[in-house]
Amino acid sequence: MTDTNGTRSGRRPGNSGTKEAILDAARTRFAAVGFVKASIRSIASAAGVDPALVHHYFGTKHELFAAALKLPIDPNDILSRFRTVPVEELGETIVRTVVTIWDSPLGVPVVAAFRGLLLGDDPALARTFLLEIVLKEIQPRVDSPPGTGAKRAALAASQLAGLFLTRKILHLEPIASMPADELAATVGPTLQRYFTGDLPLQD
């Protein structure tokens, strides 16, 4: 393994091995206890390194999570775009944004990472990602009447996950070839209804 950091010779070898050990520990820990409860300290301890080294290599806990999932972007960078969108435009904006990312050059590693995440043997990491990163961000914005936010956000996730599966994994036509605009206009209202529609939810 090579040290990709370009550090001077003289430092101990095996930086990439240390990084991999940290990422392995992070994946295990995030899957076991979730994003919020997994501390940098516990991940560092499991990897046998100092917590400061984890921060030095990977930055914030969000950035460490993205690296552990092999996401080429920090999901927070995407989710932050949705914070200022009026809630009544959230459905169409989310569909247009994620489809545009999937279809971009950046989409190749994103699709590979999501594929591994959604279709891997351990669904715990995927649940952690969806519940504690993606849905946690959306849920409080759509919690009206109070208490409905979790179901609203999860229903939207079910449509988005299926759009991803049919378009990017199965390449199912005609959905695989529909332009992002057309998907935003047809699938966006589905998310919007889940977010703000009058749903017959049970207590």
Q: How is residue 99 written in tokens?
A: 């489809």
Residue 157, interface with a second copy (CB under 8 A)?
yes
Closer to a second copy at the Cβ: 26 or 117? Answer: 117
**What CA–CA distance (Å, rounded) separates 131 from 129?**
6
One of 21, 111, 118, 180 touching a second copy (CB under 8 A) = 118
Residue 160, interface with a second copy (CB under 8 A)?
yes
Residue 201, interface with a second copy (CB under 8 A)?
yes
One of 65, 187, 192, 195 touching a second copy (CB under 8 A) = 187
One of 18, 28, 190, 192 touching a second copy (CB under 8 A) = 190
Residue 133, interface with a second copy (CB under 8 A)?
no
C-alpha distances in Å from residue 63, one per residue of 11, 35, 67, 127, 150: 25, 12, 6, 18, 25
One of 62, 127, 136, 141 touching a second copy (CB under 8 A) = 127
Is the CB of residue 26 less than 8 Å from the CB of residue 65? yes
23, containing H or E segment? helix 15-37
**What CA–CA distance (Å, rounded) separates 177 from 115?**
19
Q: How is residue 55 written in tokens?
A: 């921060």
Question: Angle at which helices 61-68 and 40-47 pack, to 10 degrees?
Answer: 50
Residue 73, interface with a second copy (CB under 8 A)?
no
Residue 56, interface with a second copy (CB under 8 A)?
no
Q: How is residue 21 written in tokens?
A: 């050990």
Closer to a second copy at the Cβ: 25 or 130? Answer: 130
Which positions lie near a second copy, rule CB under 8 A?
118-119, 123, 126-127, 130-131, 150-151, 154-155, 157-167, 169-175, 178-179, 181-182, 185-187, 189-190, 193-194, 199-202
